[in-house]
Amino acid sequence: MIENINFEYYCYRCGNKNQRILPCPNAPDYHYSDLQCSNCGDGTRVIISHCPSCSRFIYWIDDTSIPDLVVGFARYMVHNMQTMIDKAALQGAIIEIDTPDKYPINASCPCGESFAVEIPIPDLD
């Protein structure tokens, strides 16, 4: 279930209080948003998700895009692993590397629940 929440934050640059209505799914699902300060235009990003056990939500604010970082790292690793697999094949060896489907970001809620939001890792090979 996805519930909309009133998300309030203060701009790191000018201190302005900003309010947004954001969708907030239950963990392990998440919502990712690019936010822009209504006063100075400074941008930031948020990943938000509901605790699966209570009504609270958790969030991460960052200046980088965590989902984009996960995909970029996956591309880098696939390229490096493929190079290693190709070099091993030239010597007659067979290597298989199993990669995960999701990148978990662990969280703890004040209610005591521990859980993770899961960012999908694309199959790039």
124 has pLDDT over 70: no
- pTM of the predicted protein model: 0.74
User: Domain coordinates of the chain in residue numbers?
Assistant: 2-120
* Percentage of the chain exceeding pLDDT 70: 97
Confidence of residue 100 (pLDDT cuts 50, 70, 90): confident
Confidence of residue 112 (pLDDT cuts 50, 70, 90): very high
Q: Where are the beta strands (DSSP E) in the chain?
A: 2-10, 17-25, 31-36, 43-50, 57-62, 102-108, 114-120
Phi/psi of residue 124, each to 5°? Answer: -105, 0
pLDDT score at 62: 79
pLDDT, mean of residues 86-105? 82
CA dihedral 78, 59, 37, 13 (to 10 degrees): -90
